[in-house]
Amino acid sequence: MHSGMIGKIEKAHRYAEDRSRFDVQALQVRVRGNNGDHEVRLEDGSWQCECDFFQHERACAHTMALEMILDGMVRGSVAAA
Ligand SMILES: [Zn+2]
């Protein structure tokens, strides 16, 4: 591995420790729930989930779990409040 790449890896470690540098704007994730899989998307800062609970509450265990994983990297998070 050349020295330029080693420097970039060190920089990546420093960036990865600072979540405030990141603003996740779009995402698509398949969540394996206890009762089946669910497609969860983040588009323009808004969550979407296909599960029944989300249709009524605009938030669910699947979207909130992702907010927790992405702690501090999604604006307007429900679970972080
Ligand atoms: Zn859901």
Question: Which residue has 């972080």 as its token pair?
Answer: 80
Distance 45 CA to ligand 1 centre (A): 16
Q: Read off the pLDDT of residues 6-64 as tens digits, 9 standing for 90 and up.
A: 999 999 999 999 999 999 999 999 999 998 999 999 998 899 999 999 999 999 999 99
Beta strands in the chain (DSSP E): 26-33, 36-43, 46-49
75: confidence class by pLDDT, cuts 50, 70, 90: confident
Q: Read off the pLDDT of residues 26-41 as tens digits, 9 standing for 90 and up.
A: 999 999 999 899 999 9
Q: How crowded is residue 51: how many other Cβ atoms within 10 Å of its Cβ?
A: 19
Distance 7 CA to ligand 1 centre (A): 40
Distance 39 CA to ligand 1 centre (A): 8
Q: Is the pTM of this model over 0.75?
A: yes
Distance 63 CA to ligand 1 centre (A): 6
Of 43, 69, 46, the closest CA to residue 59 belongs to 46
Q: Pull the structure tokens for residue 42.
A: 């983040």
Distance 41 CA to ligand 1 centre (A): 10
CA 75 to chain centre: 10
